[in-house]
Amino acid sequence: MASSEGFLTEEQREMFKLATQNAEILSSSPKSPSSLLSDHPLKVPASGKAPNTGIAVRHVRRTHSGKLGRAKKDGAGGKGTWGKLLDTDGESHIDRNDPNYDSGEEPYQLVGATISDPLDDYKKAVASIIEEYFSTGDVDVAASDLRELGSSEYHPYFIKRLVSMAMDRHDKEKEMASVLLSALYADVISPAQIRDGFVILLESADDLAVDILDAVDILALFLARAVVDDILPPAFLTRAEKTLPKSSNGFQVIQTAEKSYLSAPHHAELVERRWGGSTHITVEEVKKKITDLLREYVESGDTFEACRCIRQLGVSFFHHEVVKRALVLAMEIRTAEPLILKLLKEAAEEGLISSSQMVKGFSRLEESLNDLALDIPSAKALFQLLVPVAISEGWLDASFVKSSGDNGEVPKEDGKIRRYKEEVVTIIHEYFLSDDIPELIRSLEDLGAPEFNPIFMKKLITLAMDRKNREKEMASVLLSALHIEIFSTEDIVNGFVLLLESAEDTALDILDASNELALFLARAVIDDVLAPLNLEEIGSKLAPNCSGSETVRMARSLIAARHAGERLLRCWGGGTGWAVEDAKDKIMKLLEEYESGGVVGEACQCIRDLGMPFFNHEVVKKALVMAMEKKNDRMLDLLQECFNEGLITTNQMTKGFSRIKEGLDDLALDIPNAKEKFSFYLEHAQNKGWLLPVFGDGPIPAVAN
C-alpha cells in the first residue's frame, strides 16, 4: 500500500513542506506540526480525493487537558495555546541601565495616603497657641497668631480648647483664659462664635467631669465670668438651659452659675477676683520685687540665688528694669558696685538678661540721669565710668556708645520743649496731689504754649499709666475739662498719635501699656472728647502693623461692647474723689433746693463748688428735665445767670441740650409734652446766644451715657 503521503496532491505536498520548514526554524515547541499530523492522521474518503480542494490540512491544536483552545486574533494564544511567534516563556524584565529605558514602562503601584482633617489640624495649631500664651501671657501675640491661623469657622472649638485646657491648670491660667476671651471678643472671635463655643463646652461637660473632679463648678465660674465680662448675654443661660437634659452636667453648670455666682451680692467683683484678680502683675509690684531682691543680694552676695529670683519673676521683657535699678543701687551704695557688676555679668553670660535688655537698661538710666543727679550728684560721672567697664567685660554691647553719641549723652532736644516738659511734669504732679482742675488750667494758660498741648497730653497719660487707678481716673477727667476749655480736638488727636507712636517704648516701663492706652482712648470717646471717627483718623496716622494700630483696634472693640459707656466710665474704679453717680446726686440736690425757693447766687456757688466744669452739661440737662417735670421755667433764670458768669460755657450748654434732644423719645414716655417744651427752651436758648450755631444745622452726634 502506498504511504499516507500518496493521498496528497502535489500542491498539498508543497504547502506541507513549507509549513514543516517554518516550524523547525521558528518554533521551539517540543511538538512540531509534522509530529502532530503523524499523531492524528488525516482521514480522506475511499475515492482518494481530498474533501476540500486548495486546503492542505486542518491544523487542530489540542491542549494537554484535552480541551479545545481556539487561537486569538493575530495568532496570540488563548488558554492552552502557544501564543504569538515572538512570545517567550519567561517574564519580561525592565533594565534601568538599558539606554532605551523609559520610566513610563515601570509598573504602577498604588500607595495609600492619609487624608488630613482640617478640624484636627486646627485643633493641633490652637493647642500650640494656647500653650505659648500660658507661658508668655502675651494677649496681643495670641490674638495675632489666631488671626493669622485663619479658619475662623472653627473658632468655637478654640474656645472649648482654651477653657478645657485652663480648667485642668492653676488659677493663674484660668484667669488668663478669661482675660484672653474678653480680648478676642468682637475683634477676632464674633459674639455668635463665643456663644457656640460655650454651647460646645456645656454639651461636653459630662466628658470633662470624667477627668476633672470639680469640672461643673469651674465651668460654671467660666460661664459666670463670661456674663460679667459682657461677652455672653445673661439670656444665653436661659436659652442654653432649655436645650440640655436636666440630668446632664451641662444643665448643672448653668444652675450653679445662676444660683452660686450671678445671684450673689456684688457678684461681679467676686467673680472677677475668684481666680486672684488680674493676670497682669502691676508695675509697682514688679519694681518692688526687683528692688527687694537686689538689696538682699547686696547683703548676702549670693549671685546664684539672685539669678534664680530674677528668673522666677517671669518678666524677661522687663529685665531692663533690673539693669537700671542695679546700676542705681551701685551708685547709691558705692561699696556694692563690685557685687552689682558681678551679678550683671553673670546674668548676661547665662543668657538670663539678653543683650538688648542690657542695652535698654543702660539707655533708660542714661535718660534719667538729670533727675537722678538731684539725689546722687555724681550720677553722671559714675555712669561714664560704668559704661566702659561693662563694654570691656563683654556684657554690654559696644553699639551702646554709638547710639548714645560720642560723649555718651542723650541728644539734646529743643530747649523750649525741654523747659516746657519740666514745667508740665511739675504741674501734673501738683494736680495729682490737689485734684484742682481750675488751678491746672490757669497754670497751662500762664505757660502760653498752646502749640505744645499734644506734648502735655502725652505726658499726662504717660505719668498716670505708671500710677494707681485714682491718677488714671483723674487724667481722664482732666482731659474732658481741657477739651472744653483750652484743648482742641486736633490737640487731643495729635496727643494720642504721639502716645501710640511711642507705645512700644512705653511698654518697656509699663507692662500693660497697650491695654491701658486702649482704655484711655475708648474713655475719651465715651467722654465726648473724641468722636468715633477720630479713631479712624488716629489709626490712619500710624503704621499698619505697629503696636499703636493694634491698640486702636482694641479701643474700637471696647467701645463696641455691650454697656460700654457704663463700663468705661468705671474702668479706673470710679471718680477722682467724685464718682459720676455722686456728682449727679449733688447736682440734683442743688437744683431741687433752688427750685424750692433758693437764691440764684447760692445755686451758682454750689455749681462752682462742685469743681467739675467739664460735667456742667449734666447741670443743663437736669435743669431742663426738672423744668419740664415741675412746669416751672425758673430754671431758665439759673441757666442764664450761669451763662452770664461764664460758669457754664457755650460748649457745655450745647452738650446739655444735645443730650436732652437725643433722649426726647424716652423722656416723652414720662412727660407727654416734652417735645413741645424742648422746642420752647431751644428757641429761648438760641435767642439768648447760649448755643453753638452748629446745633441747629443737623442731627447731633451720638453721645454715650
Q: Is 139 exposed, middle or buried (CB count within 10 Å of its CB: 0-12, 13-18, 19+)? A: buried
Task: State which residues of the chain have pLDDT below 50.
Answer: 1-5, 27-69, 73-74, 79, 85-89, 278-280, 405-413, 575-579, 697-705
DSSP 264: S
Residues 508-517 pLDDT 10s = 666 667 788 8
DSSP reduced 3-state for 189: strand
Q: How far is CA 112 from CA 106, 115, 117, 120, 247, in A?
A: 19, 10, 16, 20, 45
What's the confidence (pLDDT) of residue 502?
82
Give the whole-angstrom CA distance, residue 193 versus residue 201: 12
Joined grid coordinates for residue 643:
451763662
Contact 154, 196 (CB under 8 A): no
Q: Please state which architecture CATH assigns to domain 580-688.
A: Alpha Horseshoe (1.25)
Per CATH, which fold does 283-401 belong to?
1.25.40
CA neighbor of 143 nearest in space, from 106, 180, 177 = 180
Give the whole-angstrom CA distance, residue 69 versus residue 565: 96
What's the confidence (pLDDT) of residue 409?
42
Domain boundaries for CATH 1.25.40.180 within the chain: 118-274, 283-401, 416-569, 580-688
Main-chain dihedrals φ then ψ at residue 44, nearest 5 degrees: -130, 160
DSSP reduced 3-state for 675: helix
CA neighbor of 327 nearest in space, from 374, 285, 282, 389 = 389
What's the confidence (pLDDT) of residue 258?
83
Contact 508, 478 (CB under 8 A): no
CA-based Rg of the chain, rounded to a whole angstrom? 45
Beta-carbon contacts of 699 under 8 Å, excluding residues fewer than 6 positions away, are none
Give the whole-angstrom CA distance, residue 95 versus residue 100: 9
Number of H helices, E strands in the chain: 37, 0
Which residue has cell 507712636?
A: 501
Joined grid coordinates for residue 390:
561693662
Residues 388-447 pLDDT 10s = 888 888 888 877 775 554 444 434 445 678 788 888 888 898 888 877 888 888 888 888
Beta-carbon contacts of 300 under 8 Å, excluding residues fewer than 6 positions away, are none
Per CATH, which fold does 118-274 belong to?
1.25.40
Contact 613, 652 (CB under 8 A): yes
Joined grid coordinates for residue 577:
474723689
Contact 501, 459 (CB under 8 A): no
What's the confidence (pLDDT) of residue 162?
92
Which residue has cell 454750689?
A: 606
Terminal-residue alpha carbon distance, the chain: 136
DSSP reduced 3-state for 301: coil
CA neighbor of 189 nearest in space, from 223, 232, 237, 251 = 232
Per CATH, which fold does 416-569 belong to?
1.25.40
CA neighbor of 174 nearest in space, from 206, 134, 212 = 134
Give the whole-angstrom CA distance, residue 451 versus residue 491: 8
Which residue has cell 483723674?
A: 474
CA atoms within 13 Å, Cβ hemisphere of 280: 17
Type and span of the H or E element at 291: helix 283-300
Cβ atoms within 10 Å of 393's Cβ, excluding its own = 14
